[in-house]
Structure 1
Amino acid sequence: MSAMYHRCEVCNAEAWLVSDHCHEREEREGVRTHRGYLCTSCNVTLGKYRDSREALKEKADALQKRAEILRELAHYLMLGRYP
């Protein structure tokens, strides 16, 4: 797998990038389709969720809920109270 140092097309982080491609199509048709250059973190994350928009949306929703809980907790802690 070739790598280069630039900006990730998903998160815009400056990092060593890898060529993102569809493993399923490669296995099914023998065609390697280049989809872009990603940092390792984004490439692994997309692979982990198998490029499923639904799975990624569920994860994003869970992270959003967690962020809201942490903001609320920080607010209480700054006031010197505990929820």
Structure 2
Amino acid sequence: MCPKHYARWRANGHPGKSNRWAQPLDGTDQKYCTLCDSVKPRTEFRPEPRRRDGYYPHCRPCASKASKAIRQNNIERYRERERLTYLSKKFNITHDEVRAIFRNSNGLCEICGGPPNGRGGLHVDHCHTTGKIRGLLCNSCNVSIGHFRDDPAILRRAADYLEFHQQPPLAA
């Protein structure tokens, strides 16, 4: 589009389409919402300093509905981003480092080697004194380590106990 036509398009909008939004409602404290096709008070619009009139083109209720619809259509992407942000803030690492940890686990628990079970997916296991990430565990292994208070000596005694009391297989 040449500069002359672009300037005309910016001033008057797209030819053949309703263009009430381009026409300022001077002298009034109102603005046209492009989604619900109605004129509302400017207090119904969020401020946006980069726009010519200083407000978003959609009223708050319409913007909220549109935002919710976009989130629902992309819910998995939003959940992944929220989880990445949560983990990167909690453990002071970047999103790429979080992705690398999940990629290196191959989606399996580092203790039992099984897929995630119980609540959620894999859980980030970390040292409670240093905060350093140890790996990804399924819910069962993560809870078990917690019950043994992250103490290797207790875990060894538990393993010895299980081996000592292991029943021989029944003869068929």
Alpha-carbon distance in structure 2 between the residues aligned to 1:46 and 1:55: 10
Q: String of CA shifts for 1:33-52, please: whole Å, max 9, x gaps.
A: 21110011111111111121
Alpha-carbon distance, 1:24 to partner: 3.3
Rg: which structure is higher?
2
Partner of 2:153: 54
Letter in 1 for 2:115: E
Alpha-carbon distance in structure 2 between the residues aligned to 1:40 and 1:24: 21
Alpha-carbon distance in structure 1 between the residues aligned to 2:168 and 2:134: 36
Structure-2-length-normalised TM-score: 0.34
Partner of 1:66: 165
In structure 2, runs of 5+ residues without a counterpart are 1-82, 84-101
Quick check: 1:9 aligned with 2:106?
Answer: no
Alpha-carbon distance, 1:22 to partner: 1.8
Letter in 2 for 1:19: V
Greater helix proportion: 1
Alpha-carbon distance, 1:63 to partner: 0.6
Runs (4+) of structure 1 exceeding 2 A deviation are: none
Structure-1-length-normalised TM-score: 0.65
Q: What CA RMSD, in Å, does the superposition of the two structures yield over aligned residues?
A: 2.1
Partner of 2:128: 23
Alpha-carbon distance, 1:53 to partner: 1.2
Letter in 1 for 2:150: D
Alpha-carbon distance in structure 2 between the residues aligned to 1:37 and 1:20: 6
Greater strand proportion: 1
Three-state SS of the structure 1 residue aligned to 2:134 is: strand
Asked which structure has the greater RCO (Cα within 8 Å, sep 6+), the reply is: 1
Q: Report % sequence identity.
A: 35
Three-state SS of the structure 2 residue aligned to 1:11 is: coil
